[in-house]
Structure 1
Amino acid sequence: MKVPFLDLKLQHQAIRTEVLAALADTYDHTRFCLGKDVENFEQAFSATLGYSRTLGMNSGTSPLHVASIAGGFGPGDEIITTPFTFASSCWGISYVGATPVFVDIDADTWCISPEAIEKAITPKTKGIVVVHIFGQPARMDEIMAVAKRHNLFVVEDCAQSVGATYRGQPAGAIGDCGTFSFYPTKNLGACGEGGAFVSKHAAVMDQAQLLRVHGSPKRYSHTEVGFNFRMDGFQGAVLNIKIKKLAGWTARRREIAAKYRAGITRSDVQLPIVPAYGESVWHQFTLLHPQRDALRVHLEKNGVGTEIIYPGPMHRQPCYASLGYKEGSLPIAEKTSATCVSLPIFPELTDEQVAHVIASVNSF
């Protein structure tokens, strides 16, 4: 049996008629940059997931850039973040000239450790960028308590956690702002690039709205240096269709994750946990194994696709070599990167395919 790691064609084929009709409507009304499709999506995103206001943007990286500006980050500032993430989580920090300070992660959630954050704070520390990795919420109560004690601006990177909740609150609504990615492989993916920005602070949202469109409150008036971070109308049209399906897709991901957690019984496998404080949306189902590479070969021979997300932590990437992190400096993140492997978990998987993945892992 073949079980691909991901097959977007299955999802897109099921909604093809709806999406093509929506794209045709966008083509006819010609509002291609922002416009009514993006406005409708922003309203639907807020209403569906529980935000007061949403700003659609052109990628998942752009809202992270905006978040660093909104936090007042700049040269001389230190921003604490996780090394176990995709690079764009760090780019916003670097774009504004601040310095990322990488700290270790929790050994069970693989999210940034609040205790490690506290130990890394210096007089230069100005903010924290939290990543809800693989759809799993970080320990936000402890993180926000640290932030409050030290007057730090908290950015939640929710690129993988659309629909995740922490003690009933949506991810992205707990810190000072939240950022989202709609890259095609995400749980809510566009047909191209896309992203969103949310904040519980009206002033932050107003600033983000200005920055999104050239720092312009009205045409040909520019009150600050801004960017072209507008969401494309076609992507808004696609996301308007997809957001109606998100709850069902998320429920299926949770169902598959529960099957994996119950069915994979090897004692040498570390499975992802289900913490009492929140609900994951299972963007990835990742496990740890000391013979990760051999396990991948075994699974491939059994027709099961896998991926390593992420094989190299950010503090050891060449672009941040100047920061001076040595091998072994963040041991939990490094061990996780060296032993992690992600299994197929997309809504269109059949129960038979899920059972085959489980049997293949157990037979290693």
Structure 2
Amino acid sequence: MPYQYPFLDLNTLHAPYKERFKQILDHHLDDSSFINAPISADFLHAFSHYCQSDYGIGVNSGLDALTLMLRAYQILGALPKGAGVLVPSFTFIATILAILHNDLIPQFVDVGVDYLLDPKLVESAITPQSKAILVVHLYGQSANMRALQAVAQKHQLLLLEDAAQAHGALFEGQKVGSLGHASAFSFYPSKNLGALGDGGCVLSSDPQVIEMVRILGNDGAPRRDHALYAGFNSRLDSLQASFLHAKLPHLDCDNAKRRAVAQLYLEGITNPHIVLPPIRNFDEHVFHLFVIRTHARDRLQKYLAKHSIETSIHYPIPCHLQPLLSTYSHIDLPNTQRFSQEILSLPISPTQSLEATRFIIEVINGACLK
């Protein structure tokens, strides 16, 4: 039986765009402009400008964005194979897969109470092998980029951003995606700026990096039939770029609606066994996810499901404890390991009604979690 209060309702989210999306599809069908049409460059220019970055290049997915960003720096000589990348384990596995795909070594660092990389722990984890910090702006909140920039500069490390969950987020007034040497975004449908399929992009103010990602995503060939590298077939197709271009002007408004839902949760959830998300600056957070914690997570999730409220967990198994990474299972990351047992993501979207949000709050407050 479908949930009355789904975790994410893409039908409702896309309803205002339905006629525009049909027009876009008709246009692409009429002129067969499916790959590398001018709209792709138009969208990437607009999104780069929105993120206060100079250049952008589209790729096939968020994982490809991370993988090709790292590979570009590898080819340019900044990330030799076997180099260490300081990274949280408290993230989606794609962050780590990109490191592995490039024969780099994840150097796992614990997160703070805000679920984001702890700059002090990052600095203490640096070894002679370390060449980069890959920071994840998790759940829609920027990490402490001022402190991480200082660490990176002091130790001459690349500072790279995984911004897959942070479209439009800010740190001290500056957009996420423009705070490091380069950044990777995902346009997966559930993102704050989501396509109608997979997609991603890399942003940077270094044109060499963007050009290398372009070449790598074009089969390793700077021009047709002239392959220089063992590349990939990874482009943001023009249809998805068109859909994203139509949605981009509404991103700030949608993020404000997410903040309105979050504000209701923050003010309304009073169950003493619930830990609300720590927030550095409410107005700079874009609440891709609203994540609470409780020692009775599984019990609460079942209780909410009985009331037709769908929830999710981001993420139940830390990356360093995944079977793929069993050689790292001895590492002790106390916050990461504890949080993964307690976190629960509540429904949140720009289209979530006041009534639905109040009902969810009422059910949570009525849950017996002793």
Judge same fold: TM > 0.5, yes or no. yes
Q: CA RMSD, aligned part only?
A: 1.6
Matching residue of 2:218: 213
Q: 1:301 aligns with which of 306, 321, 338?
A: 306
Q: State which of 343, 349, 354 in structure 1 corresponds to 2:352.
A: 349
Give distance in 2, aligned partners of 1:276 and 1:184: 26
Q: CA deviation at 1:303?
A: 2.0
Task: String of CA shifts for 1:206-229, please: whole Å, max 9, x gaps.
Answer: 222222212333222334332211
Question: How many angstroms apart in 2 are the aligned matches of 1:74 and 1:318?
Answer: 26
Q: Does the 8 A contact of 1:71 with 1:127 survive in 2?
A: no
User: Whole-Å Cα distance in 1 between the matches of residues 38 and 9 of structure 2?
Assistant: 30
Q: CA deviation at 1:243?
A: 1.2
1:300-351 CA-partner distances (Å, limit 9, x unpaired)? 122211111100000100001023435xx10100111000001000111110
List per-residue Cα deviations over 1:254-309 (Å, max 9, x = no partner): 11111111111122211112214971110000011111111112211222111111
State the Cα distance separating 1:231 from its structure 2 match: 1.1
Mapping of residues 9-158 of structure 1, within 5 Å: 9-72=11-74, 73-107=79-113, 109-158=114-163
Check whether the contact 1:63–1:180 (CA below 8 A) recurs between aligned residues. Answer: yes
1:334 corresponds, among 337, 342, 358, to: 337
Q: Once the 2 structures are TM-superposed, how far is the Cα of residue 362 of structure 1 from its aligned partner?
A: 0.8
Question: Larger deviation: 33-42 or 109-118?
Answer: 33-42
SS of residue paired to 2:194: coil
Where has structure 1 moved over 6 Å in runs of 4 or more? none
Q: Is the 8 A contact 1:172 1:198 kept in 2?
A: yes
Q: What TM-score results when the alignment is normalised by the length of structure 2? A: 0.94
Partner of 2:9: 7
CA distance in 1, matches of 2:330, 2:193: 35
Secondary structure of 1:54's partner?
strand
| Aligned residue type for 1:116 | L
Task: Note the residue ranges of structure 1 that are not aligned, 5 or more in a row.
Answer: none
Q: Secondary structure at the match of 1:306?
A: coil
SS in 2 for 1:80: strand
2:264 aligned residue = 259
- 2:227 is aligned to 222
TM score, norm. by length of structure 1: 0.95
Give the AA of the match of 2:196.
C
Instruction: State the AA in 1 paired with 2:106.
Output: P
How high is the sequence identity, in percent, across the aligned residues? 34
8 Å contact kept, 1:87–1:314: yes
CA contact (8 A) 1:286 1:341 kept: yes
Change (3 A) 1:277 1:283: closer
> Closer, same or farther in 2 for the Cα pair 1:354/1:277, shift >3 Å?
closer
Q: Determine the structure 1 residue equivalent to 2:176.
A: 171
**Alignment check: 8 A CA contact 1:26 1:37 kept:** no
Query: What is the one-letter code of the residue matched to 1:97?
Result: D
Q: Is there any run of 5+ residues in structure 2 with no aligned partner, and where? A: none
Question: Does structure 1 retain, via aligned residues, the 8 Å contact 2:51–2:177?
Answer: no
CA contact (8 A) 2:139 2:289 kept: yes
Is the 1:166–1:277 contact (alpha carbons within 8 Å) kept by the matching residues of 2? no
The answer to whether the Cα contact below 8 Å between 2:321 and 2:328 also exists between their aligned partners in 1 is no
